[in-house]
Amino acid sequence: GPIEEMSLPLYFGWFLLSSVQDKVRCTSMDFLKTLDTLEAFKKHLIDFTGKAEKEVDLEQYFQAKGTLHCTTKFCDYGKAEGAKEYAQIPAVNDLYGSVFELSLSALFVTPRTVGARVSLTEEQLVLWPADAEKEVESAASLPLGSRAHVTLGCAEGVEPVQTGLDLLDILALQQGGQQGELVEEMELGSLTYYGEGRWLLSLREPICAPACFSSFYE
Ligand code: ACK
């Protein structure tokens, strides 16, 4: 009934503790600042601007979206498919309020979003919905947890749901054998270009981010 539905959150997820939020935001800003100055990036500016000569300030281009988190299940207060079933998984109840150490293994940028890839452990995957990747046709055969990410910013008019879709898009390209173009070894890691404005920085040292498994209501 409606009361049951009301009690479900907008989404469940891991919420990064405030101490690490700043570190992640700084790393992301550093990355955008550096990316902006690379000749290789300037060469493909048209992906972001639609015009070859136009300049772009990536730090301004993306707007931050609230508290940093990794969504496990988007419930939409019970309206999303499988929301109720997810909330009833024993692990979801048992682990609610527990702190986990998420591993942020890569940063990615597209003309729509900037995000961090989260590499989930077996223990963390018990909280991951079985259908998260299957919702996206081109990503259906990717391993469970491939969509896990932290949204760091969205371009104007872009909804945060896009970040996970952009990540799946890049991972599907990789799975399909597209190596991308290794552009540069940066201090933070190796930077690869996948065409159409898609950039992936594999972090040399993944960021360990303590995060509390909980839910969000607006
Ligand atoms: O950045 P995110 O993972 O993308 O965190 C936000 C959060 O839920 C609140 O909007 C995510 N989100 C929104 N719609 C969906 C959806 N249909 N499927 C999966 N995640 C979603 C959004």
Cα–Cα distance measured from residue 108 to residue 117, given in angstroms and rounded to the nearest whole number: 8
Question: What pLDDT, on the 0 to 100 scale, is given for residue 51?
Answer: 77
Question: What pLDDT, on the 0 to 100 scale, is given for residue 150?
Answer: 98
In 84-160 the beta strands, taken as DSSP E runs, fall at 99-109, 113-119, 149-155
Question: What pLDDT, on the 0 to 100 scale, is given for residue 162?
Answer: 98
Task: Tell me the three state secondary structure of residue 92.
Answer: helix
Task: Give yes or no for residue 160 CB within 6 A of ligand 1.
Answer: yes
User: The tokens 């607006």 sit on which residue?
Assistant: 218
Task: Point out the residues of the chain with pLDDT beneath 70.
Answer: 1-6, 52
Question: What pLDDT, on the 0 to 100 scale, is given for residue 5?
Answer: 54
Check if the interface score ipTM surpasses 0.85.
yes
Probe residue for ligand 1, chosen from 8, 10, 11, 102 as the CB with the greatest number of ligand atoms within 8 Å: 11
Assess contact for 201 and 107: CB atoms under 8 A.
yes
DSSP state for residue 183 in the 8-state scheme: E
**CA 142 to each of CA 23, 25, 138, 194: distance values in angstroms, whole numbers, following the listed order:** 29, 28, 9, 18
Question: What pLDDT, on the 0 to 100 scale, is given for residue 6?
Answer: 58
Q: What's the whole-model pTM score?
A: 0.96
